[in-house]
Amino acid sequence: MTLAEYATEHGLHRVGARPNLVQYLKQAWSRRDFAIAMARFRIQANQERNRLGMLWLVLQPMLNATIYGLIFYFLQGSNRPADYPAYIVIGVFLFEYFSKSLSNGAKSITGNRSLVQSLAFPRLTLPIAVVIENFMQLMPMLGVMGLTLIVLGHFPTWEWLLMAPLIALYTLFNAGVAMFAARLTVHVRDLTQILPFVNRILFYTSGVLFQVDKIFAAHPWAVRLYDFHPLYQVLQIARGLLMHEGHYSLHYWLYLIIWSVLMCVGGMLFFWVAEERYGRD
C-alpha cells in the first residue's frame, strides 16, 4: 500500500490540496468579511498616506479628464463627439474602475506573498478584495460624476437608475479580469511591467476619448467590430443613460451580460485550477 492510499484510507488530506469547485466557493463565501475588511483597510491606508486622502479618488480622474480632454479636443477637430465635456467625463471615470481592477488585481497574489504562504484560505478572496476595494472607491467617484453632469446640463431622469445593473455587470466583468490577471502574474512575474502599457492601449482604443462612428466613418467594419468590445459597450450604455442621447444600441445590454458572465466564470475557473500553486511558485 502506498502512502497516498494509506492516507486516503484513514481520511487524511494533503495540506494545501485544492478542494472541489463547490467547496472552494463555499470557503471563499465564508470569508467574505475578510475580503471586505481587507478592502476597507487598504482604502484607509491609502488615505493616511496622502495628505488629501479621499479627495484623490475624484481628483485623479478629474485631472485625467481635463488633461486628456483638452488634448483630444484639439486633435479631433470636427470629429469631436457632441457634448464633448460630458462624453469625456463619463469615459474617464468609468474606465478608471476597469484600470484599477486590472492593475491591482494582477498584484493581489504576488503583492501578498507572506500572507499566502503563512495562512490557509481560498486565495480567490485576494483578487475579490481588490475588486471590492475598487467598487468602494467607485461610489464617491460616481457621485462626483453625477454632479459634474448636472453642472453640464444633464439632469437626472429615471434612466439614471439603470446605472445600478450596469455597474453590477461591470463589476462581474472586472472581477473576472482581476482573477485572470492575478493568476497570470504568478506564473509570469514580468507581466506586471507590461500591464501599464496594456492599460494605456485600452484607454486610447476603447472609445474613452473619441466617438467611434465618427473617427472610423470611412471604415464601417471597424465600427461593427467595436459593437463586440465590452469596455466600449459599458461606456456607450452609460453615456446613453446619463446623457439621454441614445449613444448605444439595446443589444449592447445582451452582449455585456454575456461578456460579464463569461469573464467572471472563466476567471474563477482559471484561478481555481492553479490554487495549489499560489505561494509555491
* Residues 101 and 177: beta-carbon distance below 8 Å: yes
Instruction: Give the Cα separation of 161 and 148 in Å (integer).
Output: 17
* Residues 247 and 240: beta-carbon distance below 8 Å: yes
The tens digit of pLDDT for each residue in 110-132 reads 888 888 877 778 899 999 999 99
The tens digit of pLDDT for each residue in 81-112 reads 888 999 999 999 999 999 999 999 999 988 88
Low-confidence ranges of the chain (pLDDT < 50): 6-7, 10, 12-13, 15
Dig out the grid coordinates for 78 from the structure.
470636427
Instruction: Give the Cα separation of 9 and 3 in Å (integer).
Output: 10
CA 10-277-178 angle, 5° bins: 125
Share of residues in the chain with pLDDT > 70 (%):
89
Provide DSSP, 96-118: HHHHHHHHHHHTTTGGGHHHHHH
Dig out the grid coordinates for 85 from the structure.
465635456
**pLDDT for res 7:** 44
Would residue 279 be called left, alpha or beta, if left means φ above 0 and alpha means ψ between -120 and 50 degrees?
A: left
Between the alpha carbon of residue 259 and those of residues 1, 19, 94, 255, 256, the distances in Å are 49, 27, 17, 6, 5
CA 265-247-207 angle, 5° bins: 65
**pLDDT for res 6:** 45
Question: 10 Å Cβ neighbour count for 194?
Answer: 12
Provide DSSP, 155-182: ---GGGGGHHHHHHHHHHHHHHHHHHHH
* Residues 127 and 105: beta-carbon distance below 8 Å: yes
Between the alpha carbon of residue 88 and those of residues 33, 62, 155, 156, the distances in Å are 36, 10, 17, 18
**pLDDT for res 94:** 95
**pLDDT for res 54:** 67
* Residues 142 and 163: beta-carbon distance below 8 Å: yes
Kindly report whether the global pTM for this prediction surpasses the value 0.95: no
Q: Which helix (H) or strand (E) holds 252?
A: helix 251-273
**Structural Rg of the chain based on CA atoms:** 21
* Residues 281 and 119: beta-carbon distance below 8 Å: no
Q: Across all residues in the chain, what is the average pLDDT?
A: 86
Q: How many residues are listed for the chain in this entry?
A: 281
Instruction: Give the Cα separation of 261 and 259 in Å (integer).
Output: 6
Dig out the grid coordinates for 228 from the structure.
463586440
Per domain, the residue ranges of the chain are 20-277
* Residues 56 and 50: beta-carbon distance below 8 Å: yes
Half-sphere exposure (CA, 13 Å, Cβ side) for 181? 31
